[in-house]
């Protein structure tokens, strides 16, 4: 019989961590997952030589406490990621290749950068990441793009350019299309008083040695028969008298409560009855930055022999830049504004152009990888994105219902945290389970 106490929609990190906590508290829980595997936006593959390659989420920072705790509970280990690797960055700029730290900056740009970052830091301290709406100037800060604000505080054009290139390397939206309030909230959540502009040393410091997707695989193993794959949810009915979930196959499941962890894009395809109009409007208002991920495996980290650290930033080309995933493996993201060229190009041609970019960045040894994989998350029907994108006005548009529950409908998932990330998935998943157990 398809009846349980709780149904969790989606078996990404959020759904799995919510279901695991519920199961461990004696709740009869069922997880419904559309794909034939767990993990959602974390996924890995094993290369012929045994190295694991991450095709989705990879790295975390020291303030990612929920994720770190879960990793410990699962008996997995954190090791340093790429942020501390020795060597120089490479920049592929409109006028060619440069090596070093912000090679297009002069002294005036450097001074301007420092001034702007210290002003940004001052504003970060004024934003409560759990309640950015309470900021006395919230509406104005949300309406301003980061680019507009930088110019308002006197940034030189090269400072705006540097921030834009850095954001594109992360496959975030351009600074011209990102709400200042959302960016302040994102840095405020680190709880680090020295947090300024997005910094790899704050966000990208560690990775799970056994593979970040192993976190999901371990939880799925623990959940065992409670997990149903190939279960695409198409309709949900929410009521305090009982909830029902219908699959694309027509199969029905019932429960007392629901934890929904489906990303906001695919969620729009699901009919939900019994939710308030305000809740539905808030969920529908969210959107994602679109990305595709490129992973390239070489026999070894050959770039290190040239004094390079494997990190690059690309103002031109398809990729926004690269970083070292692990020995011999580079990762890269295709930023939202380059998706159009990327997705409309024949796969063989994409492969050749990516190799040309890697050769332009790291030299001729980059021409012959053992493997080059492309994961088009932007058009994956069960993701349709990457991480939440907050365009100017979006924080106020989504409003204070963001990440809150409407029992017996509980909401979790990285989209329901400040800015996405694996931390957001685990933190909201466990918080949803705790809220439900408390109720
Ligand atoms: C390329 C890429 C790189 C990233 N890099 C990092 C990183 O380095 N560090 C970091 O912290 N984060 C990173 N992230 C973000 C991080 O991976 C995600 O935020 C996090 O894994 C999302 O977890 P989730 O459980 O909230 O959502 P998801 O993992 O998306 O899980 C949702 C689940 O719902 C399922 N689903 C969807 N529709 C339905 C339906 N109709 N019925 C049933 N099931 C459905 C999906 O198949 C999926 O399994 C990256 C993401 C991507 C894509």
Ligand 1 pocket check: which of 414, 426, 433 to mutate, most ligand atoms within 8 Å of Cβ?
Answer: 414
Place of tokens 């918080």: 431
pLDDT in tens, 310-368: 999 999 889 999 999 999 999 999 999 999 999 999 999 999 999 999 999 999 999 99
For residue 257, with 0-12 CB atoms within 10 Å meaning exposed, 13-18 middle and 19 or more buried, which class applies? Answer: buried
Q: What atom in ligand 1 is closest to the CA of residue 377?
A: 53
Q: What atom in ligand 1 is closest to the CA of residue 55?
A: 1
CATH among 3.40.50.970, 1.10.405.10, 1.10.10.10, 3.40.50.2300 for 104-201? 1.10.405.10
Q: What atom in ligand 1 is closest to the CA of residue 415?
A: 26
If you average pLDDT over residues 291-315, what whole number do you get?
Answer: 97
Q: What atom in ligand 1 is closest to the CA of residue 425?
A: 26
pLDDT of residue 342: 95
What is the CA(55)–ligand 1 centre distance, in A?
A: 11
Residues of the chain with CATH 3.50.50.60: 6-44+211-275+406-438
What is the CA(293)–ligand 1 centre distance, in A?
A: 13
What is the CA(122)–ligand 1 centre distance, in A?
A: 32
What is the CA(383)–ligand 1 centre distance, in A?
A: 7
Confidence grade of residue 193 (pLDDT, cut at 50, 70, 90): confident
pLDDT of residue 31: 98
What is the CA(261)–ligand 1 centre distance, in A?
A: 9
Residues of the chain with CATH 1.10.405.10: 104-201
Ligand 1 pocket check: which of 10, 67, 292, 380 to mutate, most ligand atoms within 8 Å of Cβ?
Answer: 10
Confidence grade of residue 1 (pLDDT, cut at 50, 70, 90): low
What is the CA(40)–ligand 1 centre distance, in A?
A: 4
Question: CA-CA distances (angstroms) from residue 371 to 10, 93, 129, 314, 357?
Answer: 30, 26, 40, 21, 16
Q: Which protein residue's CA is at the shortest distance from atom 33 of ligand 1? A: 10
Q: What share of the chain has pLDDT > 90, as a percent?
A: 96
Confidence grade of residue 200 (pLDDT, cut at 50, 70, 90): confident
My answer on whether omega of the bond before 271 falls inside 30° of 0, hence cis, is no
Ligand 1 pocket check: which of 37, 67, 422 to mutate, most ligand atoms within 8 Å of Cβ?
Answer: 422
Confidence grade of residue 201 (pLDDT, cut at 50, 70, 90): confident
Is residue 283 scored above 80 in pLDDT? yes
What is the CA(101)–ligand 1 centre distance, in A?
A: 32
Q: What atom in ligand 1 is closest to the CA of residue 32?
A: 43
What is the CA(425)–ligand 1 centre distance, in A?
A: 8
Q: Among residues 180, 181, 194, 192, which one has the least CA distance to residue 118? A: 194
Q: What atom in ligand 1 is closest to the CA of residue 58?
A: 8
Looking at domain 6-44+211-275+406-438, its CATH class is alpha beta
If you average pLDDT over residues 299-314, what whole number do you get?
Answer: 98
Q: Which protein residue's CA is at the shortest distance from atom 19 of ligand 1? A: 421
Determine phi and psi for 42, rounding to 5 degrees: -110, 130
Q: E-assigned strands of 298-377? A: 308-314, 321-326, 329-334, 371-375
pLDDT of residue 99: 98
pLDDT in tens, 104-126: 999 999 999 999 999 999 999 99
pLDDT in tens, 47-99: 999 999 999 999 999 999 999 999 999 999 999 999 889 999 999 999 999 99
Q: Which two tokens stand for residue 284?
A: 């529908």
170, 333 Cβ separation under 8 angstroms: yes
Ligand 1 pocket check: which of 8, 40, 213 to mutate, most ligand atoms within 8 Å of Cβ?
Answer: 40
Beta-carbon neighbour count of residue 117 at 10 Å? 17
Is residue 243 scored above 90 in pLDDT? yes
Mean pLDDT of the chain: 96
pLDDT of residue 376: 97
288, 252 Cβ separation under 8 angstroms: no
Q: Among residues 336, 395, 330, 297, which one has the least CA distance to residue 171? A: 336
What are the pocket residues of ligand 1 if the criterion is a CB atom closer than 6 Å to any ligand atom? Answer: 9-15, 32-35, 40-42, 56-60, 231-233, 261-263, 266, 270, 291, 293, 377, 382-383, 386-387, 413-414, 420-425
Q: What atom in ligand 1 is closest to the CA of residue 414?
A: 26
pLDDT of residue 419: 85
Edge-to-edge order in the sheet of strand 243-247: 252-255, 243-247, 233-237, 271-273
If you average pLDDT over residues 159-170, what whole number do you get?
Answer: 96
Paired with 3 in beta bridges are 254
Q: Which protein residue's CA is at the shortest distance from atom 34 of ligand 1? A: 10
């Amino acid at each position: 019989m398809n009846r349980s106490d709780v149904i969790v929609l989606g078996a990404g990190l959020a759904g799995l961590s919510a279901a695991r906590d519920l199961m461990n508290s004696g709740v009869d829980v069922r997880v419904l997952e559309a794909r034939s595997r767990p993990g959602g936006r974390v996924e890995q593959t094993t290369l012929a030589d045994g190295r694991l390659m991450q095709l989705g989420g990879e790295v975390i920072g020291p303030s990612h406490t929920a994720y770190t705790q879960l990793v410990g509970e699962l008996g997995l280990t954190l090791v340093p990621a790429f942020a501390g690797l020795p060597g120089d960055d490479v920049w592929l700029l409109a006028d060619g290749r440069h090596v070093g730290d912000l090679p297009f900056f002069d002294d005036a740009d450097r001074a301007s950068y420092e001034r702007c970052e210290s002003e940004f830091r001052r504003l970060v301290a004024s934003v409560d990441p759990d309640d950015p709406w309470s900021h006395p100037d919230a509406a104005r800060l949300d309406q301003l793009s980061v680019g507009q604000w930088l110019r308002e505080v006197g940034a030189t054009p090269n400072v705006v350019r540097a921030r834009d290139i850095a954001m594109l390397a992360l496959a975030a939206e351009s600074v011209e299309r990102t709400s200042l309030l959302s960016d302040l909230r994102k840095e405020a959540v680190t709880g680090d008083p020295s947090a300024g502009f997005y910094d790899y040393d704050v966000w990208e410091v560690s990775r799970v040695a056994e593979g970040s997707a192993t976190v999901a695989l371990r939880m799925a193993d623990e959940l065992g028969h409670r997990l149903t794959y190939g279960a695409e949810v198409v309709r949900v009915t929410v009521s305090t008298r009982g909830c029902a979930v219908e699959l694309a196959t027509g199969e029905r499941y019932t429960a007392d409560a629901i934890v929904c962890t489906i990303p906001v894009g695919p969620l729009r395809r699901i009919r939900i009855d019994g939710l308030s109009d305000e809740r539905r409007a808030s969920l529908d208002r969210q959107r994602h930055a679109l990305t595709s991920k490129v992973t390239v495996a070489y026999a070894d980290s050959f770039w290190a022999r040239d004094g390079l650290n494997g990190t690059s930033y690309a103002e031109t080309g398809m990729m926004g830049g690269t970083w070292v995933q692990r020995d011999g493996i580079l990762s890269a993201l295709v930023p939202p504004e380059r998706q159009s060229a990327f997705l409309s190009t024949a796969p063989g041609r994409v492969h050749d152009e990516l190799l040309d970019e890697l050769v332009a960045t790291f030299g001729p040894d980059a021409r012959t990888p053992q493997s080059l994989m492309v994961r088009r998350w932007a058009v994956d029907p069960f993701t349709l994105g990457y991480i939440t994108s907050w365009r100017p006005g979006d924080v106020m548009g989504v409003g204070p219902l963001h990440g809150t529950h409407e029992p017996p409908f509980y909401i979790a998932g990285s989209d329901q945290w400040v800015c996405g990330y694996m931390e957001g998935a685990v933190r909201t998943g466990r918080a949803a389970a705790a809220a439900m157990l408390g109720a």
